[in-house]
Amino acid sequence: MAGAIALRIDGMTCASCAEQVKAALERLPGVRSAIVSYPTGRADVAADAGVSSGTLTATIATLGYRASIADAAPPLTGVLDKALGRLTAGARRGKGGRPLRIAVIGSGGAAMAAALKAVEQGARVTLVERGVIGGTCVNVGCVPSKIMIRAAHIAHLRRESPFDGGIEPSSPAILRERLLAQQQARVEELRHAKYDSILADNPSITVLHGEARFRDTHRLVVQSDHSAEHEVSFDRCLIATGASPVAPPIPGLSDTPYWTSTEALASGTLPRRLAVIGSSVVAVELAQAFARLGSKVTILARSTLFFRDDPAVGEAVTAAFRAEGVEVLEHTQASSVAYADGEFILATGRGDLKADRLLIATGRMPNTRELALDAAGVAVNAQGAILIDKGMRTSAPQIYAAGDCTDQPQFVYVAAAAGTRAATNMTGGDVALDLATMPAVVFTDPQVATVGCSEAEARRLGIETDSRLLTLDHVPRALANFDTRGFIKLVTDTTGHLIGVQAVAPEAGELIQTAALAIRHRMTVQELADQLFPYLTMVEGLKLAAQTFSKDVKQLSCCAG
């Protein structure tokens, strides 16, 4: 029989402290789950009957915090239930009983999710957008880049595949202008279907076009393109302004017509030589796409590719790139950039590098500088990202933030989930966004997919680990595809519970959610190994990787259970 134990925790100073306590509690035998809140200083633990509060408090003490039994909240019944209902309803109304007025700055994934949820809760929304409706993802990010990457993948397969001995390859003619037209038509179709038409058909959402800035904690000023000013008063406000590419301070760079991802995706021509400065997601995705469409590509990586991830990830992707003719210069920086006669010249420690186009993909900066956040008392970090708690609350009462303009991971699905939860909290709810099992995918070939902790991240959290790395030459689907590039790596704690997965494999993104669910439900590698996985699928590689903790998979039959 499971029970609930509520603890008060003193000494936590940030959300990471709460994550550390949660991880330590959930490693204890008999603990089924732990919800730890930094803002409230409380832990709610679901545990088997044999788990004592003393064991829990002692474990927390080893981390340097003080824990004690918390007073349980009294059950809400009868009159109290009704009173709570009135309070919740009141939180959804403005002064005088009018609908709650919510201002949303931005129109991307976080903004749209929040606006629609807020309207569902009875609020009236004013949405402010300074540019094109839809934000980064649909217009200049996820959608166009994945279309281009897929087209490049098809071109690559026509030119070269593991089956060239039986299917004669050919060199396709790349008509970039036609590919671009196809790409942009789909972008416009999705923007109209998922953004423009939804906003136009919703009478509870008013759209203002212009630049927003805070006048104070309850008012915005919106400057339109016609220099007219509109004042927007609000009861609650969500900042969801996203982020923009940022260039490093390389001498001479600002005087050149370099590309960011926006210009690269919109180009109707393919450069003969492309230099890419950067080593993470945008850099590698676009570098490989351009190379497969016919450009000679050189990547300059200040460290190594994916240097923040498990070293095996960067090594596998680098090997795959070099096999395709992409030049990867590790530990290489440009000391200066010049442009003359249609040619870029990058000075490096390895000599001068010349290119017809230069793509800068070194990160993105939150779009917060023009918002006058000081006027509303909204705090940001050194990079200009808005600081929020797990409920998307900023340092200013009644003002929330979500998406790439915050210190959250920059993924559109994180932004949308944060926007929905922010709207729930703005209308009287109290929900949090748990990113402990957030999957991430990089759409190179092979793809990179990760979830949970790497070994290095676990060590930083004080978690002892065990791990196994399974190369794809042990996965039947990869063997049948004649494509065994990459690996699947599982990381566990010392009790055998799965805490992290890193995979480099063709279509790795299609298997990572299974890994995320396994971590979410506290599965051990043995429990994962005991599951039924369909034969000749890539996701079966998770089962095989789990089996390596107790067996030599080389000695198993091809579909061993």
User: Is there a single domain that holds both residue 276 and residue 338?
Assistant: yes
d(CA 302, CA 264): 21
* CATH at residue 259: 3.50.50.60
Last residue of a domain, one of 426, 452, 473: 426
> Residue 358 is which amino acid?
L
Q: Give domain status of residue 502, yes or no.
A: yes
Please tell me what DSSP assigns to residue 268: S
Give 441-445 contacts, CB < 8 A, sequence gap 24+.
441/508, 441/509, 441/512, 442/281, 442/284, 442/285, 442/306, 443/145, 443/146, 443/149, 443/285, 443/509, 444/284, 444/285, 444/288, 444/317, 444/320, 445/153, 445/156, 445/288, 445/320, 445/506
**pLDDT per residue of the chain (561 residues) written in tens, 0 to 9:** 567 899 988 877 656 667 788 888 888 888 888 898 866 788 889 888 878 888 888 788 777 678 888 854 433 333 333 334 434 444 556 666 789 999 999 999 999 999 999 999 999 999 999 999 999 999 999 999 999 999 999 999 999 999 999 999 999 999 999 999 999 999 999 999 999 999 999 999 999 999 999 999 999 999 987 778 999 999 999 999 999 999 999 999 999 999 999 999 999 999 999 999 999 899 999 999 999 999 999 999 999 999 999 999 999 999 999 999 999 999 999 999 999 999 999 999 999 999 999 999 999 999 999 999 999 999 999 999 999 999 999 999 999 999 999 999 999 999 999 999 999 999 999 999 999 999 999 999 999 999 999 999 999 999 999 999 999 999 999 999 999 999 999 999 999 999 999 999 999 999 999 999 999 999 999 999 999 999 999 999 999 999 999 998 888 777 766
Domain that holds residue 276: 253-362
Q: Give domain status of residue 494, yes or no.
A: yes
User: Is there a single domain that holds both residue 324 and residue 394?
Assistant: no
Last residue of a domain, one of 362, 378, 413: 362
Q: Give domain status of residue 458, yes or no.
A: yes
Q: Give domain status of residue 540, yes or no.
A: yes
**Residue 309 confidence (pLDDT):** 96
User: Is there a single domain that holds both residue 344 and residue 397?
Assistant: no
Residue 507 phi, psi dihedral angles, 5° rounding = 60, 35
Last residue of a domain, one of 311, 339, 362: 362
Residues noted as catalytic: 12, 14, 17, 65, 137, 142, 558-559
Q: Give domain status of residue 170, yes or no.
A: no
User: Is there a single domain that holds both residue 350 and residue 278?
Assistant: yes
**Residue 96 confidence (pLDDT):** 66
Return the ∠ at Cα 527 (arms to 526 and 531), rounded to 5°: 115
* CATH at residue 449: 3.30.390.30
Whole-model pTM: value is 0.83
How many Cα neighbours within 13 Å face the side chain of 413? 8
User: Is there a single domain that holds both residue 272 and residue 239?
Assistant: no
Q: Give domain status of residue 455, yes or no.
A: yes
User: Is there a single domain that holds both residue 216 and residue 353?
Assistant: no
User: Is there a single domain that holds both residue 346 and residue 371?
Assistant: no
Residue 371 CB neighbours (<10 A): 23
User: Is there a single domain that holds both residue 226 and residue 103?
Assistant: yes
Pairing, β 66-69 against β 42-48: unpaired
Residue 127 phi, psi dihedral angles, 5° rounding = -105, 130
**Residue 86 confidence (pLDDT):** 39
> What's the token pair of residue 448?
């990179």
User: Is there a single domain that holds both residue 337 and residue 422?
Assistant: no
Measured in whole angstroms, how far is the alpha carbon of residue 5 from the centre of its chain? 33
d(CA 281, CA 448): 10
User: Is there a single domain that holds both residue 290 and residue 229?
Assistant: no
Tell me if 294 sits within 8 A of 301, measured CB to CB. no
Cβ contacts of 375 within 8 Å, gap of 6 or more: 213, 214, 215, 216
User: Is there a single domain that holds both residue 119 and residue 193?
Assistant: yes
Q: Give domain status of residue 86, yes or no.
A: no
User: Is there a single domain that holds both residue 102 and residue 231?
Assistant: yes
* CATH at residue 12: 3.30.70.100
Q: Give domain status of residue 341, yes or no.
A: yes
> Residue 559 is which amino acid?
C
Q: How many domains does the chain have?
A: 4
